[in-house]
Structure 1
Amino acid sequence: MSSTVLVTGGAGFIGSHVVPLLLERGDRVRLMDNMSRGDRGRVAEWVATGRVELVEQDVRYGGAVHRAMSGCDQVVHLAAVSINKSEADPYESVDINIVGSNNVFKAAADHGVRRVVFASSASVYGDPDRLPMAEDDPLDPLTPYCVAKHTGEQLLAYYARRSAMTWIALRFFNVYGPGQKPTAYYTSVINHFVQRLRSGEAPVIDGKGEQSMDFVHVHDIARAVVMALDVDAARANLPINIGTGIDTSVAELARTLIDAVGVDVEPQFRPRDVLVSRRMADISRALDVLGWKPTIDVRTGMQDLVDSEIG
């Protein structure tokens, strides 16, 4: 049965991959986005289908959120300020990522929404003591962005206890893929490497390149979001890691991209501190609760990225 789904931040990177999947399954989409970074051309194409409505508003305004929520069955909350911007402007980060999220969750509870899927983040773990990182591991958020994602999960639990609303918080690991912004904190390294490689220059790696990330393709992220909308209520109200379960070192990434671009260079290394040294998701809960597992490996995904949009 089709639903009316409110997607906040739906004109952004992840939203641009989620909305088409919602349309494929027959849903109607109400897209709420302030369009500060959204692709108006792409949104116009969606609106032209007659099944997407654009609400050009900001989640920081509670009244606007309540109006957008009216008549919606489900919510995908993607709107956020990125991790790097949160350190540059903590006030804005708290305003959008905490106050804005609270507005969305409160409105969802008030309007009888049955499911909220929240774009949380693996950054809530901080620098982990062990790999793979599991949902029940200790949390140690290190920036205003990370604190906000943790707070968002707690706010969801609060409102779910006081309403019929259920929720899934997807802790995304290092998302990459077509349409990503060149300033994205954990994927800007990809853009940096590819730009240098296409200029015939060697990629420059911070430290020894031993720091690792769990790179997960945005298509697989979007699949997880849509699958989370359909989880039985009895199995909801919990966080779920979305990654590949494979850690790729920055040095390995550089060599993968060298092969993808097709140049004959060797990486260069420079001493520099890194915020988080290792990342790898335990994805057993995603398989158990969502029936989800990744379908795009890093080598295939990076080749796709190089061939499609980055340059």
Structure 2
Amino acid sequence: MSVPTVFFSGGAGFIASHTIPILLERGYRVRIFDNMLRGDRAMVEELAATGMVDLVEQDVRYGGAVQNAMKGCTHAIHFATVSINKSIADPYESIDINVTGNHNVFAAAADHGVKRLVFASSASVYGDPEKLPMHEDDRLDPLTPYCISKRMGEDLLGFYQRTKGLSWLALRFFNVYGEGQKIEAYYTSVINTFLRRIRTGEPPVIDGRGEQSMDFVHVRDIARAVVSALESERDNMPINIGTGIDTSIAQLAKILIAAVGVDMEAQFNPRDVLVSRRAADINRAREVLGWEPAVSVEQGMAELVRNAR
């Protein structure tokens, strides 16, 4: 019997580095498709040494390259993307990579008849939520080219499902963090800024009252969700992947101070702040994927602090 093979765009990135080892344990071969501009080459070489991972160093904007690399693949994971803050600075590149790239991967997956495609969508498709927790059927209001392209990706998957029978799941990731993340990453910049100050004996400075919140979900939990989505019996829907807990910026500062083990209080910089809050309704993830988050924010942040020493 032939070995199932996963086409993995953006497979040299942070979340992929935690996902691919699980895929290998479960008997998959992995074909990483990545332009390596931000990819971790040392990690890819280490994985390639297993004999079960190969790298196609190419760009998702080139449809022919995607079609060729998809040959012989039974499954696909599409992570290649341009980040939120970069999409605001350069909407042209963002639309080019995120929209054209999405389409090239989905079309190739449909043409080659892959059994399942898993798409990294984002909680940012909701915009500023009207209520918490955020449910998959809530109104979508994506605000930046990145968020718009994620919503568009979900709609395109629906098109290929209806016209070519493509089986897909779109995972709406909330605020991913964990070991190995680039420090300039949009959602972790607040973690890193606070940590830098705490370590040098300066208290973290919080704008407003620190009521803004995020749903921080650990990368190991994300990786498990991706593999569960690849193997789930149910398909063709978006699924929130978060913890269901909204951690305010003020709470985050306390958690990090405790993790470093120093005695200090955060400072508040009184000013008007647009308070946005996030927390995922994760019932669908439980029902469809049999998935639950296993790493608490306290545990994950403590680990981050230990490993960053």
Does structure 2 retain, via aligned residues, the 8 Å contact 1:198–1:261? Answer: yes
Partner of 1:307: 306
Does structure 2 retain, via aligned residues, the 8 Å contact 1:114–1:164? Answer: no
Partner of 2:37: 36
Partner of 1:242: 241
Alignment of 1:281 onto 2:280: yes
Structure 1 residues 1-311: aligned runs within 5 Å: 2-232=3-233, 235-271=234-270, 277-309=276-308
Which residue identity lines up with residue 63 of structure 1 in the other structure?
G
- Where does structure 2 lack aligned partners over 5 or more consecutive residues? none
Does structure 2 retain, via aligned residues, the 8 Å contact 1:126–1:276? Answer: no
Which segments of structure 1 move beyond 6 Å, counting only runs of 4 or more?
A: none
Secondary structure (helix, strand or coil) at the match of 1:161 reads helix
Which residue identity lines up with residue 174 of structure 1 in the other structure?
N
Q: Deviations over 1:84-109 (max 9, x none)?
A: 11111111111111111111001101
Which residue identity lines up with residue 305 of structure 1 in the other structure?
L
Secondary structure (helix, strand or coil) at the match of 2:131 reads coil
Shifted more, 279-288 versus 178-187: the winner is 178-187
The number of residue pairs the alignment matches comes to 308
Which residue identity lines up with residue 284 of structure 2 in the other structure?
R
Inter-partner Cα distance in structure 2 for 1:210 and 1:168: 32
Shifted more, 266-275 versus 91-100: the winner is 266-275
Inter-partner Cα distance in structure 1 for 2:97 and 2:206: 32
Inter-partner Cα distance in structure 2 for 1:52 and 1:273: 50
Q: Deviations over 1:109-134 (max 9, x none)?
A: 11111110000000000100100000
Inter-partner Cα distance in structure 1 for 2:225 and 2:26: 14
Report deviation, 1:34. Answer: 0.7
Question: Under a length normalisation based on structure 2, what TM-score does the superposition of the two structures give?
Answer: 0.97
Does structure 1 retain, via aligned residues, the 8 Å contact 2:211–2:275? Answer: no
Does structure 1 retain, via aligned residues, the 8 Å contact 2:120–2:173? Answer: yes
Seen in structure 2, the aligned counterparts of structure 1 residues 87 and 275 have a Cα distance that, compared at 3 Å, is: farther
Inter-partner Cα distance in structure 2 for 1:270 and 1:77: 40
Which residue identity lines up with residue 48 of structure 2 in the other structure?
V
Report deviation, 1:39. Answer: 1.2
Q: Deviations over 1:24-71 (max 9, x none)?
A: 111000001111111111110111110001001111111111111111
Seen in structure 2, the aligned counterparts of structure 1 residues 58 and 191 have a Cα distance that, compared at 3 Å, is: same
Question: Under a length normalisation based on structure 1, what TM-score does the superposition of the two structures give?
Answer: 0.96
Inter-partner Cα distance in structure 1 for 2:207 and 2:140: 25
Which residue identity lines up with residue 32 of structure 2 in the other structure?
L
Q: Deviations over 1:222-277 (max 9, x none)?
A: 00000001111xx2100000000111000000000001011222112235666661
Secondary structure (helix, strand or coil) at the match of 2:106 reads helix
Does structure 1 retain, via aligned residues, the 8 Å contact 2:242–2:279? Answer: yes
Shifted more, 273-282 versus 128-137: the winner is 273-282
Inter-partner Cα distance in structure 2 for 1:10 and 1:49: 16
Which residue identity lines up with residue 286 of structure 1 in the other structure?
A
Does structure 2 retain, via aligned residues, the 8 Å contact 1:127–1:276? Answer: no
Secondary structure (helix, strand or coil) at the match of 2:191 reads helix
Inter-partner Cα distance in structure 1 for 2:150 and 2:274: 17
- Where does structure 1 lack aligned partners over 5 or more consecutive residues? none
Superposed CA RMSD: 1.3
